[in-house]
Amino acid sequence: MIAILRLLPRIALSRLFGRFARLELPLLSRLSISLFHLLYSRIDLDEAERMQRREYRSLQDFFTRTLKRGARPIGGALVVSPCDGAFGQSGAIQNQTIIQAKGVPYSLAEFLGDSTLASVFEGGAFSTIYLAPWNYHRVHHPFAGRIIRLRHIPGDLWPVNRSAVEGIPGVFARNERAWVEIETDHGRAIAIMVGAFNVGSIRLTAHPELGASERGDWIPSLPVPVRAGDELGIFEMGSTVVLLLDEPLRQACAGSSWPTSDTPIRMGANLSFPR
């Protein structure tokens, strides 16, 4: 599969699929949503605000569905999961390097697009969460704090399934991505939304134009306060979230072990990281 994708115009095909997913044509929408739901029968519409497929205007509308109030209780820990999914690698940030898959490191400076910022997170912690097609695809703030910067970084759109993550060095730092930097009372954190093949787009809630009509950084004139569980962004087809904590924040939310790879997690569940 990876060999075939090397030959294809991945970005153009992904954008084309994104346009298709946004089409609001009643017959086409009903058929595409029904097929998608048939392929991914684990989608639980009982927890969605709109529980009937006919209530959705397009495949993308269905994919980015909102949940009923209270469907994802927000835990009381200092850090909570930003999304539904399953854990990939987690661990300490050492030598400005984090782990993509077992034995496959990548550069934090390249990932963030900023070597100075990468040095701030030395000694901190990272955790990767993969979103499957059936997951809820809105991403939420894992901390209470203040938004101090957003950044969109254009890039490729490789898939981020297991074979790609294990076989394409630095795939997260190659792909399109967008991140939100948060200042908390205990330290700094960054949540990165990583694009992938067939991701229509990534929208950051604090500034939806970033990555669409605008590129680069957005720095608010005043820090924007957020609570844990507030919406951070939306995958308009899904992918991966990487969470970074600086060392003071890692120390403040210390636990006894790293999250275990392949363990399912739901948005709002308590997280912790060893000192």
To the query of whether residue 185 is one of the catalytic residues in this protein, the response is no
User: Quick one: which H or E segment has residue 100?
Assistant: strand 97-101
Q: How many Å is the Cα radius of gyration of the chain?
A: 18
Catalytic residue among 81, 137, 239, 246: 239
18 φ/ψ angles, rounded to the nearest 5 degrees: -60, -40
Catalytic residue among 140, 141, 152, 207: 140
- Three-class SS of residue 162? helix
Nearest alpha carbon to residue 59 among 24, 11, 102 = 24
To the query of whether residue 272 is one of the catalytic residues in this protein, the response is no
User: Quick one: which H or E segment has residue 273?
Assistant: strand 273-274
Distance from C-alpha of 87 to C-alpha of 89, rounded to nearest angstrom:
7
Nearest alpha carbon to residue 182 among 150, 222, 229 = 150
- 192 CA to centre of own chain: 6
To the query of whether residue 257 is one of the catalytic residues in this protein, the response is no
Catalytic residue among 58, 84, 152, 246: 84
Contact 78, 134 (CB under 8 A): no
Please give the positions annotated as active site: 84, 140, 239
